[in-house]
Structure formats: structure tokens, C-alpha cells
């Protein structure tokens, strides 16, 4: 990989006496599309605000394209920001909304028109240039906000929960639009989201954050298939998570031996926990038993919640299989070969 384009070095961010992010280290390459992913309060938006220049660090350093921008004012960083609320001027047309920032910089005439027209075209709104925001759908307004930031040719484009105000169908369309624009322009893009599906679908790399720090950084495939901690595992759908003590599962009722099927799969020495997705649970056979507490039909699959001596277990099976009623007692197994080994389990 090339030298880092954007670097956050030992960054600590605070609101008064409350530390929101502490000693955060992160490097981002030029042209990457990176997601800051995590629950509310994890520090992802605070981190984005510091990159934008909207929050001064308590300590640490931010460098962009070889320059230290830690104390550079927001309007001189050449960093674009697309807000969750779009923040468009309702009385201006699409063209004038996109042109606004350029006009402030003194761009005019043919240069202005060429840049604005190209930017509007890049987000697929060439035929909507004369409309006002109130005449556009939510997805179209989001694209105007994107074009308005892109026309300034920022070194980094920041997006704060960019798709959260859209319905499911429009979110799918805008994911594709964001990817197309980002890959077509090569702009370095960072977006903040609490939606793991959105992050997995869009990002080149995902930074999972918790309590003001980084839990895991990796490709979508790594985050989805190889979580390193109990938090990341649960966040990406490994809903059956257990700490491991002396080679046994730690449960509310004490330590429980792994199933006999586990004897063929050695557990790495550094493993602190094991996690299974619901679809990894073998239902109908195995050494463990549970009582069906809840069931739900989900199209191609059927989901079950079991009360077991190990604690609650979530299982998912093909909907074509015979269903089980609430109160039924079922055998099940947690095959070690399918488990994700966790290096942290807290």
C-alpha cells in the first residue's frame, strides 16, 4: 500500500471534561471508501467532526496529504461534508445549490458553469438542474448534497449517516450511486453509519468503534466472517456468543463442555470466546436441548429462540423444513468448525 493520505495520530477528543475518543490511531489511503461503524455514542461522529475541523482535538494530530491540519480552520481544509439532513437551500434551484460554494470562492462564468454542470451530471440529475429541493425526492436531494460537496473537489469527502433518511428501496439505489461516484472520481470518502449492512455493502474497509476506541479494522469480508471481539461478533450477526474458560463454554449455569463434534477441531490457544450465527446452529440433533420460546417466519428461513441451560440460543433453518411450535423441546448442536474464534470476549 502507498503512504497514508489521511492520518489520525493519538487523537483524543472531548466535550468539556467528557472524553469521547481517546488516543485513536487511524490511517486511510488515497481513494479509499472507509466506513466508521458503531452504535450511538461510540465516537464515530465525533471523529468525523474533528477531521472536518468542527471540533478541535484535546491532543493528537491530523495530517492530510502530507500537511498537518490539526489546527487549520474548517473552511481551509478542503474537506467536504454531506450532512444527514442534506442542508440544501430551499429557495435555490439544484444548479444554484451546487454552484453556491464555488461562487463564494470567486468562480464564475464558463468555468463555474462547466464545473456545476459536470457535477450535477455525475449524480444523474442533469435534467433536474432547474428544480428546487421541494420538487425532488429524498434520494434526489441527497444526490444534490453529494454534488454540492463534490464540485468543490475536496481532498476528503465526509458523509454523516448519508442514507438514514431514505426508505429501503432508495437506500439501495443510493448505495450504488455513492459507489459509482466514488469510484468514478477517486475521491477519498469516509462515511459514518450505525448500519452494518450499509457498511458491508459500501466500504473498502470498515472501522468498528466502541466507547471512543477502535474494536476492529478490516475489509467487509474480514469484519463479517472473522470478528475479533464479542462486541464485533454480536454487531455483525453472531448472536450466540460465549466466553471460553479452560476450554469450556462459560454460561449462566456454569462451565459447559463443548460438544463431542468439537474434538476434531482444536481451539486456538489464544481464543477467549466462540460465536455462532443463528444459521450455524444445528437444530434437531446434538448434545444440547432447549425449549422453543419464540418463532418467526422470515421468507426463505424460519427463526427460533430457544431457552436452554446455556442461555438463550437463536437458530435459523430453511423455511421448507417442518416447523416447531412454541413449547417444543429440541436437540441442537453448536459445531466448533462453524464458530468464529474471538481474541477478546468482554
**Distance (Å, whole) CA 7 – CA 205:** 15
Q: Taking a C-beta distance cutoff of 8 angstroms, is the pair 123, 180 a contact? A: no
Question: Euclidean distance between the first and final Cα of the chain, in Å?
Answer: 33
pLDDT tens-digit profile of 98-153?
A: 999 999 989 999 999 999 999 898 888 899 999 999 999 888 888 898 889 888 88
- Element housing 189 (H / E): strand 188-193
CATH tag, 6-229: 3.40.50.300
The CATH number of 231-342, from 3.30.200.20, 3.50.50.60, 2.40.50.140, 1.20.58.1610, is 2.40.50.140
**Domain locations along the chain:** 6-229, 231-342
85, with CB counted inside 10 A (0-12, 13-18, 19+), is exposed
183: helix, strand or coil:
helix
> In this predicted structure, what is the pLDDT of residue 283?
95
Cell 421541494 -> residue: 134
H-helix or E-strand containing 317? strand 313-318
Query: Distance between CA 34 and CA 192 in Å, rounded?
Result: 9
On the question of pLDDT at 90 being above 90, the answer is yes
CB neighbours of residue 237 within 10 Å: 15
pTM beyond 0.85? yes
DSSP run (H or E) holding 104: helix 94-104
Rounded distance between C-alpha atoms, residue 313 and residue 306, angstroms: 5
Query: Please, which residues bridge with residue 64 across strands?
Result: 6, 67
Reported as a single tens digit per residue, the pLDDT across 199-258 is: 998 999 999 999 999 999 999 999 999 999 999 999 999 999 999 998 899 999 999 988
The Cα 190–Cα 245 span in angstroms is: 39
Amino acid at each position: 500500500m502507498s503512504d497514508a493520505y489521511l492520518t489520525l495520530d493519538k487523537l483524543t477528543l472531548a466535550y468539556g471534561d467528557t472524553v469521547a475518543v481517546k488516543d485513536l490511531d487511524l490511517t486511510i489511503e488515497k481513494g479509499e471508501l472507509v466506513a466508521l461503524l458503531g452504535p450511538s455514542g461510540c465516537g464515530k461522529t465525533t471523529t468525523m467532526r474533528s477531521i472536518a475541523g468542527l471540533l478541535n482535538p484535546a491532543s493528537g494530530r491530523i495530517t492530510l496529504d502530507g500537511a498537518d491540519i490539526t489546527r487549520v480552520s474548517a473552511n481551509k481544509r478542503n474537506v467536504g461534508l454531506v450532512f444527514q439532513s442534506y442542508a440544501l437551500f430551499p429557495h435555490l434551484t439544484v444548479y444554484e445549490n451546487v454552484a453556491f460554494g464555488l461562487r463564494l470562492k470567486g468562480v464564475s462564468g464558463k468555468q463555474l458553469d462547466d464545473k456545476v454542470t459536470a457535477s450535477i451530471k455525475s449524480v444523474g440529475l442533469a435534467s433536474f438542474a432547474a428544480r428546487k429541493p421541494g420538487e425532488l425526492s429524498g434520494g434526489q436531494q441527497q444526490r444534490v448534497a453529494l454534488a454540492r460537496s463534490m464540485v468543490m473537489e475536496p481532498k476528503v469527502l465526509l458523509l454523516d449517516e448519508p442514507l438514514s433518511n431514505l426508505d429501503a428501496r432508495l437506500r439501495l439505489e443510493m448505495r450504488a450511486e455513492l459507489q459509482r461516484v466514488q469510484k468514478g472520481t477517486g475521491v477519498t470518502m469516509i462515511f459514518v453509519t450505525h448500519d452494518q449492512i450499509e457498511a458491508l455493502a459500501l466500504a473498502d474497509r470498515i472501522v468498528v468503534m466502541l466507547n471512543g476506541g477502535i474494536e476492529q479494522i478490516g475489509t467487509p469480508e474480514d469484519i463479517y466472517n472473522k470478528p475479533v471481539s464479542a462486541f464485533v461478533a454480536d454487531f455483525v450477526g453472531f448472536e450466540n456468543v460465549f466466553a471460553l474458560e479452560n476450554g469450556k463454554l462459560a454460561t449462566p449455569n456454569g462451565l459447559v463442555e463443548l460438544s463431542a463434534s468439537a474434538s476434531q477441531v482444536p481451539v486456538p490457544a489464544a481464543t477467549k470466546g466462540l460465536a455462532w450465527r443463528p444459521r450455524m446452529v444445528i437444530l434437531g440433533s446434538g448434545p444440547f436441548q432447549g425449549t422453543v420460546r419464540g418463532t418467526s417466519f422470515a421468507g426463505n428461513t424460519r427463526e427460533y429462540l430457544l431457552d436452554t441451560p446455556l442461555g438463550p440460543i437463536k437458530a435459523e433453518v430453511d423455511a421448507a423444513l417442518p416447523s416447531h411450535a412454541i413449547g417444543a423441546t429440541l436437540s441442537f448442536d453448536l459445531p466448533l468448525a462453524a464458530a468464529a474464534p474471538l481474541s477478546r470476549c468482554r
